[in-house]
Each structure stands twice: as structure tokens, then as C-alpha cells.
Amino acid sequence: MRPLTDEETKTMFEKLSKYIGENIKLLVDRPDGTYCFRLQNDRVYYMSEKILKLATNISRDKLVSVGTCFGKFTKTGKFRLHITALDFLAPYAKFKVWVKPGAEQSFLYGNHVLKSGLGRITENTMQYQGVVVYSMADVPLGFGVAAKTTQECRRVDPMSIVVFHQADVGEFIRNEDTLT
């Protein structure tokens, strides 16, 4: 377990900033304690200082997970967000998409969000903007990437994809073994 390098930090922040923008600051600089990002097994964990100290008691090879996994670095050096980060992204998300109840299940099974399932969308959403997907009951379901702008979303036919699926809470069940 080690702190992120500058490059890694930058990569990760760039990814996070697609979803929560400058609100990353609130994650890094928290008044309720010191929180930090740590890299372990190519995965980035977000944990408090306390947990960090506790985790030092465990050898690296035995440590499966600590704190909250935000995502992992792929072999190509990109950062991929995991659904476990949703709890931290959802409150700060700038652009949101609400999915109709009928399309919830489809999204939770890993499918993209179609126009027909789009219940509500934040205005001025740009194309390929990272969005957090909510149910109409404002329960965060996952996140994805806007396939179309808000204006386009109004016009496109019902079966066109509006939000590309990236992660959803269904993964907690589907990828239970790999999700750490």
C-alpha cells in the first residue's frame, strides 16, 4: 500500500472531475478528519487516517481491501471507477440522470440507458459528460457517461442510447467476487 504518485493522482482526479468537478476538493480536504488515497493492488482506496494506521498492521499480500475502493488502474494506466465509489460521488455529482422505474432494472443489469427510460436529466449536460444515474426516487444507481447532450436527448428517438453504462449497484451482486 502506497500513496499515489503524482501521475496517478492526476489521472484519478481527472476521472473523478468528470463526475464531481471541483468537489474533489471536498474529498481531499475534509474537515472531519484526514482522508487520503492509497494504492494497493492497482486499486485506489479512499480511507481515513485512522483506518490507514490500522491497515499498517496487515501485510500487503494479505490485505484485500481497506477503506473504500474508488477504482483501479488498468494495465494501460487508465483509471477505472468502481461502483463502490458511488457513495462519494453521488452527493457531489454535478450532472445527474434520473431513470424511470421501468428502466431501472435494465440499467442495473448493466445496460445503457435509453431515451425511453430517461426520466429526468440535468440541463446543459454535455456529451460524454460523466453523470450519476439516479432512480426517480433519487436513489443513486450508478454512473455513466452521457451519450448525448441534454438538447439532443429531447429530440432523439426513444430507442437511442442516452447514457452509456459504466457502473451500477447491481455489480455489488454481479461482481461480488471481484469488487473490493
The residue from 50, 53, 60, 78 that contacts another protein (CB under 8 A) is: 53
CA atoms within 13 A on the CB side of 180: 13
Residue 97, classified by CB atoms within 10 Å of its CB into exposed (0-12), middle (13-18) or buried (19+), is buried
Q: Tell me the number of residues near another protein by CB under 8 A.
A: 52
Q: Smallest distance from the beta carbon of 177 to another protein, in angstroms?
A: 27
Q: Which of 56/64 has CB closer to another protein?
A: 56
Distance of alpha carbon 116 from alpha carbon 119, whole angstroms: 8
The residue from 45, 79, 98, 143 that contacts another protein (CB under 8 A) is: 98
Q: Which of 9/41 has CB closer to another protein?
A: 9
CA atoms within 13 A on the CB side of 124: 1
Where does residue 41 fall: left (phi above 0), alpha (psi -120 to 50 degrees), or beta otherwise?
left
Asked if residues 6 and 30 have their Cβ atoms less than 8 Å apart, the reply is no
By CB under 8 A, tell whether 154 contacts another protein: yes
Judged by the rule CB under 8 A, the positions of this chain that interact with another protein are 3, 6, 9-10, 13-14, 17, 21-22, 24-32, 34, 36-37, 49, 53, 90-91, 94-96, 98, 100-102, 104, 115-116, 118-124, 134, 136-139, 150, 153-155, 158
